Amino acid sequence: MDIVVNLAVFEHFFNLPPEQMLWSFLANFAWVFFGIIFIYGALLVWLNYIRTKWSQGHKFVLLAIDIPRGNEQSPKAVENMFTYLGGAHGSQNFYEKWFAGEYQKTFSYEIVSLEGYTQFLIRTPVEFRNLVESSVYSQYPDAEISEVDDYTQNVPQKYPDDEWDVFGSEFILQDSWYLPIRTYPDFEHPMGPSETQFKDPMASLMDLCSSLRSGEQLWMQIIIEPTGFDWVKEAMQAVDKIMGRKKKAKKSLAMKGVEALGEASEIIYPIWGDISGDKKEEKAKTMLDLSPKEKEQVEGIYRKATKLGFNAKLRVVYVARKEVMDKAKVFNGFVGYIKQFGALGMNSFKPDVKVTMTKAVYFRKKPRLIRKKRNLFHNYINRSTDGRELYLLNIEELATLWHFPIEANVKSPLIQKAPGRKADAPSSLPIIEEEMPLPVDIFTGLSEGSENKEKDLLNNDFESSGPPPPENLPFV
């Protein structure tokens, strides 16, 4: 029986004028594309609904970290803190994701300056509070951790406002996430005394925070989402691309058939020739063949992939009264601080001018600016992952961006500090029941416990220098 294929329909279609051809195509096949778009949109709406429903029962706590006095720990200690935080990672199966709405919970590591008074904060889900506290105490046994109110509630919650204004942006990576930024080992120098060999990049941020006046607030947060190890494979693929390594080609169906025939396949070669082809494979580059920039990138990717990674994003908000707002000093000052971590030929941070920065030009400037301000402020106070996509930073990069300043390098009297190590007296210490007279200062003639002596010591205490902290701070 002969099979007849009628091609008249196709011939008629291709002989139509271009505009009629387009309308004919849309009339017959457009429903397929619209159907796919509708299904995809419906899935996103459902996923957003079920996640919102699951998140309604979540509770978070904001913890203020009072850094130890005389801190000499390098950012390596904070790097170990982030390693411990990796225990919060969990995976969701198909049912948990699409029917229960479960997703990976996030953390927020923050540095805020309220009118010049600086505090380090961590916002964590309630169930991971012990995990966060253990990560801090394991590296800083003398630190003090206390639960505080959310400082973001002390300013107007909707903009534009008659008295207050807001400015800020998310910061995105200049290049692909697998290329590392400049990290804290790059700030170490062998010259000078040992206590000053580490040039702490946090010094410029602490100086900026201390310079804020009454009515000014600077908020910085790093959203952190624990993740698995799939990113390491992607990083290695980037190395293969730089090195010119190609994936091993899969065997074609014809080649598999030849192998299945075994010895009988010898009769195929005189007819079809070599099925595998005569294409010559280019040799992969060695480290000696790479340019200095390529070599540096390969080494940087390998170095980044050896440490634990987190999905993250950096967000900064500057809130101030309109009469004292100084964007050039505060926001541009923060941009200067963040540029310290730029490594030419590798990676760096930059403000997200196009999408999230509260700036608008050209058409519909005012409504677009209002929308950007509201979105940025809403995403910050909710510690949301909305906005630009998360990018991967390893624990060394995170510890570079968020760590307690080393006191030998950073002099900032308005940073909240723990008073010092507290310990009970040893049980073997003898107890003197008889009241002993207080010793007398041979220079002043006053007893060391006298009221005048206490006032004199308080007046000379360098820690009390500087303006007092604002009375309305939630963590004072």
**184 lies in the same domain as 86:** yes
Q: Is the dihedral of CA 219, 225, 230, 232 positive or negative?
A: positive
Q: Report, as ranges of residue numbers, the positions in the chain whose pLDDT lies below 70.
A: 1-2, 4-7, 9-10, 192-196, 248-282, 408-476
**215 lies in the same domain as 122:** yes
For 134-137, the CB contacts below 8 A with 24+ separation are 134/84, 135/80, 135/81, 135/82, 135/84, 135/85, 136/65, 136/81
Contact 21, 14 (CB under 8 A): yes
Instruction: Please tell me the distance from the alpha carbon of residue 119 to that of residue 114, in angstroms, as a whole number.
Output: 8
**301 lies in the same domain as 255:** no
- pLDDT at position 426 is 47
Token pair belonging to 6:
């009628």
Helix (H) or strand (E) holding 61: strand 60-68
Instruction: Please tell me the distance from the alpha carbon of residue 42 to that of residue 49, in angstroms, as a whole number.
Output: 11
Q: Is the dihedral of CA 185, 130, 100, 314 positive or negative?
A: negative
**42 lies in the same domain as 134:** no
Q: Domain end: 383, 403, 418, which one? A: 418
- pLDDT at position 322 is 94
**42 lies in the same domain as 69:** no
**Using the 8-state DSSP alphabet, how is residue 256 labeled?**
H
**402 lies in the same domain as 303:** yes
**21 lies in the same domain as 131:** no
Cα angle for residues 167, 476, 59 (degrees, 5° grid): 70
Token pair belonging to 112:
């805020």
For 94-103, the CB contacts below 8 A with 24+ separation are 97/47, 98/46, 98/47, 98/50, 99/50, 100/50, 100/54, 101/47, 101/49, 101/50, 101/51, 101/52, 101/53, 101/54, 101/55, 102/54, 103/51, 103/54
Token pair belonging to 40:
């995809």
- pLDDT at position 62 is 96
**302 lies in the same domain as 175:** yes
Contact 318, 349 (CB under 8 A): no
Task: Let me know if residue 320 belongs to a domain.
Answer: yes
Within the chain, what is the greatest distance between any pair of CA atoms? 126
Q: Domain end: 396, 418, 440, which one? A: 418
Q: Omega into 160 within 30° of 0, i.e. cis?
A: yes
Task: Let me know if residue 436 belongs to a domain.
Answer: no
Q: What residues are paired with 144 via a beta bridge?
A: 66
- pLDDT at position 67 is 80
- pLDDT at position 86 is 92
Token pair belonging to 182:
């400049």
- pLDDT at position 106 is 95
Phi and psi for 432 in degrees, rounded to 5? -95, 115
112 CB-near residues (< 8 Å, 6+ apart): 118, 119, 121, 151, 217, 218, 219, 220
**35 lies in the same domain as 157:** no
Q: Which domain holds residue 254?
A: 250-279
Task: Let me know if residue 143 belongs to a domain.
Answer: yes
Task: Let me know if residue 209 belongs to a domain.
Answer: yes
What is the pTM assigned to this prediction? Answer: 0.77
- pLDDT at position 361 is 84
For 139, counting Cβ atoms within 10 Å of its Cβ (0-12 exposed, 13-18 middle, 19+ buried), the class is middle
Task: Let me know if residue 462 belongs to a domain.
Answer: no
**174 lies in the same domain as 207:** yes
Contact 200, 351 (CB under 8 A): no
- pLDDT at position 458 is 44
- pLDDT at position 268 is 53
Task: Let me know if residue 405 belongs to a domain.
Answer: yes
The strand ranges marked E within 96-248 are: 107-114, 117-125, 144-148, 164-173, 216-226
The strand ranges marked E within 264-384 are: 309-321, 349-351
In tens, the pLDDT along 432-471 reads 454 545 555 544 455 545 445 444 444 444 344 445 556 6
Task: Let me know if residue 258 belongs to a domain.
Answer: yes
In the chain, the number of structural domains is: 3
Q: Buried b vs exposed e over 146-159: b needs ≥16 C-beta within 10 Å?
A: eebeebbeebeeeb
**274 lies in the same domain as 305:** no
**Using the 8-state DSSP alphabet, how is residue 177 labeled?**
T
Task: Let me know if residue 287 belongs to a domain.
Answer: no
- pLDDT at position 407 is 75
- pLDDT at position 278 is 47
**42 lies in the same domain as 68:** no
